[in-house]
Structures are given as structure tokens and as C-alpha cells.
Amino acid sequence: MSRPSRRSAVRRRAGLVVCALIAARPGLASDAPASPSPAAAVADDVPAGLPAVSDAHVEEALVAAGRNRPALEAALAYFGARGEPAKAAAVRFLVANMPGKGYIVTAWKAKDGTTVAYDPLAYPTFKEAVAAFDALEAAHGAIDAVRDHVVLDVETMTTAYLVRHVDNAFAAWRNAPPGQRVAGPAFAEHVLPYRGSEEPLEDWLTPLLARYATAPDEVVKASTPRACLDWVGGDAGRRVRFDERYYLHPTDQGFAEMERSGMGRCEDITNMTTYAARARGLAVAADYTPAWGHRDNNHAWPVLLDASGRGSEAGNAHAAKVYRKVFSLQRDALPYVLPAGREPPNRFLASKSQVDVTDQYAPTTDVEVFLEAAALGGEAHAYLCVFNGGEWVAIAWAPVVGAKATFRRMGRGADGMLYLPAVHDGKALRPAAPPLVVGKDGAVTVLAGTGPGTTLTATATTPEQVSVDTKEVTPVSHLAAGKTYVLSRFAGGWTEVKTFVAGAAPATFEALPADGLYWLVEQGSKRLERPFVVEGGRQRFR
């Protein structure tokens, strides 16, 4: 789904073909808006209860627009002059929450900041694309997918585009069965928006309104949101199929590019499905987990919401944390509370437009952590991390009160979830308390590594895993005779316990702390093996 960390780049999603920006020319007040369709002109058939936004937040957006301010002002005035207050409120909602949104172009760069030319689509298979990436890292050192430049919506949005999109969104709303049309926040957040993620700004709703104007008889007879989503989602899935090479393609594709390429990663497919759903007036959200807690990678998926804006997909209930993308700026989000100039730990927690919906998926636990004063170092915020791609990835944050942080709504997973409390100084994470496991019953077990000694019999480095994208099953990675391995224990960081050469029999270790967290890595590997605890003298992977 999201842009990869370097260590797990070849395991995660990403993207790099740069699209042309549609409607990128700064709009002027004189831009001629598209005329509303006859269906869109029905003033008494509109979604009710649109969220109100303050004049101050609208003005913030207009100031951020700079020279493009006249284009936004013209759009704000357009529907009021036509006597369509619901559409005028919709434009206000979009403009007030527009700052910061845009088309983000990423590039692969070495540590010295130089751009490394790499196009995964130049290779016929994912395996060959990975081999080429590995060769580049051998030549240049670590390569990261980083933000190259941003085309901001407030600076490029035209009057014509915004007016046309709002007209179309209201027309699309009427495509839903009359008794099942969402209103209020559900409409504003999940039917009205003109973008899905950080893709190019372009008009996808006009062609999709035409494509899905007439539903098949069976969909009409069923007359349910689910039947409609199955129809348009199935069509979108056939038009954009999953391709592993897009793990290494960090820039989100736009509508036109997806139509041409016919392939993408989970975020691209989710965007196309969301576009299709909005064309039929369905409230379909893009939910995602920033990092799985039980394996590498992350994931995004569409979810059908009810009239109150709630929904989930059972297949992703084992996530440690699930966030839902919304259009409105969440002004209590982490970027708003960090000190000026302080960067969040990663781009997931840097989002200003997402809400935590983990508890809509499965039972959760509020995790209270007492932080070590020496590690805290005066930081005002703490983070809870999962182990993903050979490193700890922050997926939740909480304010530090005294020396304590309480992380709300943490996932328990299918069989418990491993977490590490940490703090971040704007550049790097550092552990702030021992790792812990939240059991499936909600009980919290701290892995302090100070308990009585126990014996471990080790046979593997990684359990069997199933890819959520490809459904490919990766078998257990057993120890191989003659290969060298390193066993480490977490004690404020990974500390080596023993380096050994595997034999024909399982490896045995004595006097290990029974409450420790361990990591068995093959020497020379990409260090993507899974950590584990010791239970009954054997490995239990986390």
C-alpha cells in the first residue's frame, strides 16, 4: 500500500511513473464552470446535514492558495449565486479541507540525496525488478523512496474543475437507491471528495458517471449498496489488476494512468474501486494498516460504510491498527500537536486526514505504558511500534503524561500482537520501554527480559506466511545445516546472544530469560526474519 522503508522495499508496495497533471493550470476567477446537468439542478433533492466549516478555515485555504485564490473564491461564490445552498456548502467543505492535499511525486534517492534512476516496469517480472533494485543498492548504498515534489491542490485547482466535480458528485448521489442515500459526514467524507490519495488531480467522475449510468437488471432488482459495490468494484478490479512490480512504484497512479496500464498495487486498486463507488453514490472508504504486526508489508482496501459512516472488512480484522482516510483535516492529529519543525516518525502518522477505526474491525485494548525516564529524554509524545520489514515501525501515538502514555484502541491480532513503546526525536525512533504482547483476550505481557532462565530449541527463522495481495504462501524457513545464524535478544536494542553454524539437529540454547524477545537471523540475509518469544522451550513467532 504505502511507500516502503528501505529495508523492506522489495517486499512492500510503491510506485514511480510520473503522470501528467490534469487541470494543473492555476485557475482564474473568469474560468467558465461546466454547466450543471439537468439532474444536478434539482434543488430539493440533495444530501442533508453537510458538515459546517468555519470562515477561519476557509480563509486559511485561500491564503495558502496564493495566486490561485481567485479561482477558489469563484467556486465558493458560484452555487450561492445560483441558489443552491447544499452545493455551496459542499464547496466550502472541500476548500476548507484542501490545504496540504496534492499530487506527491516520489523518487528513489541515495543517502546523499542524489536521484537513482529506476523503473520497475522496465522489467518483465517482479523477481527481475528486485534483482535490478538490489544491484542499484550494491552500487549506491541504501536507496529510499522519498518525496521529490508536490503539486498542491490549493495552488492548481480551477474553478471549472471544482464546480463540475461538485455537480457530478450530487448527480452521483442520486444514483443510489432513494432509501439508501447517505447524508451528512458520510457523504462529505466518502462520496463528495475529488481524490482518493496522493494521485494526480484529474476528472475521473465524468467518465465514470457515463460508464456506470445504467446498472444491470440483477443489481437494480437487488437494490442494495452491497450489490452495487460488487458490480462496480468487480468492474474496477478487472480494469486494474494487481502487479507485484508496483510494490516498487511509489507514486500513486491517477485515473488515466490506471486506465492505460491496467495494473497497480493495492492502493491504486482501492482508488479505482472508490472512484467507481462514488459514481454510484456509495459511501466507500479507503481503509489501511500502515504496517502489519504479524508479518511484513502493509495494505489498503475499500470498505462499504453504512449510513452512519461505519464499516469493516472481516479479512483484515487481525491488523494492529486500521486507519480510515477522510477528506476533512483532523486538527487534533499528530502533525498539529508536534512542536514546530518536528517531523512525525513516518508518513502514515504525518497524515492530517485519517481517523482510527481499529475498533470497528475487532476488539481492541487501551495499552498503558510506563516509560523509562532516561529513554524519554523530555519528549512529549510516545509511539507504539510493530516489527515489520526488519525494523520497528511506529503505527500509533499518545501524549506523555508524567512518565506514562496510554495508547487507545490497539489491535490484538488473531493470536496476540507484539509492540514496542518508543519515542522519536524528529530523526529516529528509540525504545522507551520493554516490548510487550497484547493477548487475544486483551491481557498485556511485558517482555522485560529479566525473568528466570529457560531452554530454547530453535528450528526456524520465519513461520509460514500468506501474502494478502498475491495469496502466495511462503513456507516455514527452517534452519539449514551448514549455514550461519545469529541469535539476538531485545534489551533496549538487539543484542547478540550467539552466532552459530546450524547442524542436522535443532539448535539448543540454555539459560535464556524466559520473558525475553528473540530474533534468529541468517547471516547475510536481508534481516526480514520474524522475532519470537519462548513458550514451553520452543519458538512462538510474533
Count of structural domains within the chain? 3
Confirm whether 83 is domain-assigned.
yes
Residue 310 lies in a domain: no
Answer yes or no: do 105 and 16 share one domain.
yes
- CA–CA gap between residue 82 and residue 390 (Å, rounded): 57
CA distance linking residue 402 with residue 399, whole number of Å? 10
Tell me the DSSP string of 201-270. Answer: P---HHHHHHHTSS--HHHHHH--HHHHHHHHHHHHHHHSEE-GGGGG-BSPP-HHHHHHH-EE-HHHHH
Tell me the C-alpha distance between 12 and 465, whole Å: 15
* Cell (9 digits) for 98: 484542501
Map residue 336 onto helix, strand or coil. Answer: helix
Whether residue 328 lies inside any domain: the answer is: no
* Domain boundary residue, one of 262, 282, 302: 282
**pLDDT tens series, the chain, 542 aa:** 544 444 444 443 332 222 222 222 223 333 444 443 333 333 347 898 999 999 999 999 999 999 999 999 999 999 999 999 999 999 999 999 999 999 999 999 999 999 999 999 999 999 999 999 999 999 999 999 988 999 999 999 999 999 999 999 999 998 887 777 898 999 999 999 999 999 999 999 999 999 999 889 888 888 889 999 999 999 999 999 999 999 899 899 999 999 999 999 988 999 999 999 999 999 999 999 999 999 999 998 999 998 888 999 999 999 999 999 999 999 999 999 999 889 999 999 999 999 999 999 999 999 999 999 999 988 999 999 999 999 999 999 999 999 999 999 999 999 999 999 999 999 899 999 999 999 999 999 999 999 999 999 999 999 999 888 778 899 999 999 999 999 999 999 999 999 999 999 999 999 999 999 999 999 999 999 999 999 999 999 99
Backbone angles phi, psi at 304, to 5 degrees: -80, 130
User: In this structure, are 186 and 69 located in the same domain?
Assistant: yes
Residue 318 lies inside a defined structural domain of this protein: no
Q: Quote the domain boundaries for residue 518.
A: 453-541
Q: Are 199 and 135 in the same domain?
A: yes
Q: Among the three residues 412, 446, 480, which one is the final residue of a domain in this structure?
A: 446
Within-domain flag for 302: no
165 occurs within a structural domain: yes
